[in-house]
Every structure is written in C-alpha cells, then in structure tokens.
Amino acid sequence: MVIKVLNNSCLAAIAIACMATATVQAQDNKGTKKLSIGGYGEAVMSRNFYTDNYKRYTNADQYEDADGHGRFDLPHVVINIGYDFGKGWTMGSEIEFEHGGPECAVEIEEEETGEYETETERGGEVALEQFWIQKSWSDAINLRMGHIIVPVGLTNAHHEPNQFFGVYRPEGENTIMPCTWHQTGVSLWGNVGDWRYEAQFVAGLEADLFGAKDWVKGGSASPYEFDIANKYAGVLRIDNYSVEGLRIGVSGYFGRTAGNSLKQTNYDGIDGDLMIGAIDFTYDAHNWVIRGSYDYGHLGDSQKITAANKTLGKNSVSSQTSVASAAFAAGIEAGYDLFALSDKMRQKEQKLYIFGRYDSYDSMYKTESAVVDNPCWSRQMYSIGLNYRPIEQITIKGQYSYRDLDSQFNDEPSISLGVTYCGWFN
C-alpha cells in the first residue's frame, strides 16, 4: 500500500498527523503495495556562546565571560515500517536512533555535584518508539494496540522535523513532558467530518523519575526491560479542521504516578495524581505557517514525592531532586515563504521560510511549601532563522537563539544549523 501526500492544507494536516504515528491506511489490493517504508532524520551543529560547566547556575558570576562550546549531533534518525495484512488489519512500527547511538550516555549531572554519571535513558540499545497492531472498521473507528505515541501537546502529535521551524524541537514542550512521548497501551481513534479524536489507556508515569530540571519528562523512560504498570492513565485528544488551512487541537492526560515503581513502599499513602492539559494550533495558508501551543500540568503530592525520591539512595534511577507541583510551557512560531514572491521559484516548488519563535516555560512554576524553587528553570527563548526546502522531503535549517534566564544567571545565545529529511520511500 502507499500513503499519498495531499495538497489541501486541512487534509494534509490530517495526513501528517497520521504519519506521525506511522499510520498505515487500508486500501484494496488492486496493484497497491502492502509494505510501506519511510522515516525522518536530523543532522545538526551548534555553537553555544556560554559555558557548559555544571556550576554555571550555582556560581553564575564566575562564568559571565567564559568560553563557549560547539556540538555536532544526530538528534533523531527514525525508520518507519508498516504493513497492510488486509481485512482492516495493519501493523506499524518506528525504530528510533537518538543521538547517533544506543540510549546510554555519560553526562555531567547539573542538578547536584557535577559528577560524571552513566545514564540509561531507556532499556535496550535502540528505542522502539512504536509497534502496534490496528483493526480499522471505518475512518471513524480504529483500534490500535501496542506501543503508541501519546499525543499530548503540539510536539508529541507533530514531531517530524518538517513540523517545526527550529533546528531542535520546541524547547518548552521538550523540557516538561516526555518528547516524543510513547508508551504501551490501547488507542481508539477516528475521523468524523471535520473532527479527529483519539482516546488512550496507557501505563502511568514513574514518579521516582521526576525532577527539578525536566519535571515529569523522565517518567516514561523506564530503565528496565519493561514499563512498570502498577498505576494507569487516560489520554484524550480532539482536533478540528473546519476552517481551511487551520487545525485546532486540545489534549489532556490524567494518571497516578506514585508507587509506579519497583520500590512501591517508599510511596505508601501517596497518590501523585498528574493532570496535563494542552491547546495547540497550526495555520498553513496564504504563504504563512503559524504554530502555537500552551501546556499546563499539575502534580499532586509533589512535596511527598520529593521526600520519597530523596530516600531512594544514590544508586537508584531517580535524580533525587525536588519536584514542582505545577509546570507550564507556551510557544508560538510564524514563518513566511519568501519564494512565494517569485513566480519562478513557485514553479520550481521550492520554499524559503523566514521565521521567528518565542518560548516561555518553567519546570518549577509552582512548588509546595517545603519544596525549594530554583529560578534557573524559569526560561524564555527567542529564535529567528531560515528554512530552505529544495524539495518537499528535505529541509535545511539555520537559526539564532537567545535563551533569557532570570537576572542572577547568564543568558545563553547560540547559532545552529541543520539538515533534515522526512518522507516515505515507497
């Protein structure tokens, strides 16, 4: 079978959303291919005009004039494989290589003493981001079972590199939530007129993996060979495409987190209810692309979770840092296709977007009384840059970014370049 690229902006948004979860649509067998292969990838380089010393937030005045540093990276290289078995049964899978290798790295711990740590981000040498079996009865009713994308927020639902202008994924959502968020569970989804819905039942996040810097982001990244499922969660997402060129979506998550751990006794009497709500939109028309999102999350019993995590011991998987009761992320970006002003470039179907982006986020937006708020995690990010698309599947990106921290810290400017692809090979 094949997945077709649609020109109508509303239908294209639906197709891209489906491609984000490697959806394999059922078609008849008259000359169509049952196997579908695709993927996306990013190769980037950055020059950061600030120190990467782990003390840059605790002793900021000592690093005001420190030398910067540069990095090359392969943030995501992904292979999608899908198969149509017929009679409404399909399979989808997505294998992701993050940072060019297995998900194990030596890092300097910024939140504590600056020690070198070997961090296992997820069990196994590669990330199997998706693997599911789907039964489709109609466009309106599809049941997906297996390892699936959790579509909370704009970036999780639309995370391919041609779905954001920056060289890296939007910083706010990529900080406070898992991104791309994927867990094992069951999903019921479908398209009804100008609406798309998706409801999911998945395992809850692991409270012992929460922290100050990234809030609940680490909670889905089980270091074990399985996802612990002592607690459960529900997800709901609804998108509307009534206005041509415009998609508006709302999404929500609710689940319990405390005790979803191998050491459940540390969390006796604690629920750790986690609620996340998000609203996002994409506008693609009249040579403009505008995207925006707002995410807000609340964690119950954050003070008790903080205390419990700090009793787990230095060899545990927990960062053993404070956890906030609330976090938020807001972002908006807008780009205009300069080549639309040239008849010659329009005929070549090439595009050159000039864009700007703003992010504001805080992983410790609100804290309970005994939890100390570290103001270095409250940040704003300003970015400007260019996206050049010589063909639909390839994007070359460049941007200048300025991360604005509270006045007692040094701000963090950077320049980044990247080349990306996204598409299906058959």
Taking residues 154-168, what's their average pLDDT? 96
What domains can you pick out in the chain, each with its CATH number?
38-76+154-424 (2.40.160)
pLDDT exceeds 60 at position 229: yes
Question: Per-residue pLDDT for 230 more than 80?
Answer: yes
The mean pLDDT value for 394-404 works out to 97
Confidence of residue 369 (pLDDT cuts 50, 70, 90): confident
Evaluate if residue 9 carries a pLDDT over 60. Answer: no
How far apart, in whole angstroms, are the C-alpha atoms of residue 184 and residue 361? 28
**Separation between Cα atoms, residue 145 and residue 34, nearest integer Å:** 20
| CA 219-224-228 angle, 5° bins | 60
DSSP string, 42-96: EEEEEEESS---TTTTTSGGGGTT---EEEEE--EEEEEEEEEEETTEEEEEEEE
Predicted structure pTM score = 0.85
Report the C-alpha gap between 312 and 319 in whole angstroms: 10
Residue 25 pLDDT exceeds 60: no
Residue-wise pLDDT tens digits, 210-226: 999 999 999 998 777 78
Using one digit for the tens of pLDDT, what is the confidence trace for 281-334?
A: 999 999 999 999 999 999 999 999 999 988 887 777 888 889 999 999 999 999
CB within 8 Å of 208: residues ≥ 6 apart: 261, 263, 266, 308, 309, 312, 316, 317, 318
Pairing of β 378-391 and β 394-405:
antiparallel
Tell me what percent of the residues of the chain surpass a pLDDT of 90: 67
Segment 344-352 shows an average pLDDT of: 91
Above 70 in pLDDT, residue 7? no
pLDDT of 123 above 90: no
Rounded-to-integer distance, Cα 356 and Cα 314, Å: 42
Higher-pLDDT residue of 267 and 5 is 267
| Residue 107: predicted pLDDT | 62
Q: In whole numbers, what is the pLDDT of the chain averaged over residues?
A: 87
Q: Which of 291, 285, 279 shows the shortest CA–CA distance to 243?
A: 285
